[in-house]
Amino acid sequence: MNVLDPREFGRLTAEGRPCGHYDFSLYHGLRFDCACGETHDFKPWMEIVNELPLFRFIVACPDGVHLTVVKARWNRDENLRELVAEMGTALPHRRAAFMEHQQGVVGRRSDPGSEE
């Protein structure tokens, strides 16, 4: 997994949408590598920052500093097989600022008259 600079991470995940559209309990108990360097068991109460296309989502680490993009991989029978970490970032003391930036990027992309 690549651990990226927060700006690059924000740019690459800007097309996400706010959560609440998907049932994440399907992933309960599956393990994934986190940007913090640890491996976590996914719990439905974990904070999902954004949903991304193609069964990907951003999970906030319990440490409150790291974010990880996780992709759900499915087998042929469409049974969930694993969660794979694609990239992550560390946001020490700047997590709230990142969230504001993320919402701003999404808002500007949907406004055809704005410049980026």
**Digitized pLDDT (tens) for each residue of the chain, 116 residues in all:** 899 999 999 999 988 887 766 778 888 999 999 999 999 999 988 888 889 988 899 999 988 889 999 998 877 776 767 899 999 999 876 566 666 656 665 544 444 444 44
SS3 82: strand
CA 42 – CA 46 distance, rounded (Å): 7
pLDDT confidence of residue 109: 44
CA 3 – CA 37 distance, rounded (Å): 10
Tokens of 44: 């439905």
Instruction: Print the domain residue range for 90.
Output: 2-109
* Residue 34 in domain: yes
**How many domains does one find in the chain?**
1
Tokens of 6: 């927060």
CA 111 – CA 109 distance, rounded (Å): 5
* Residue 114 in domain: no
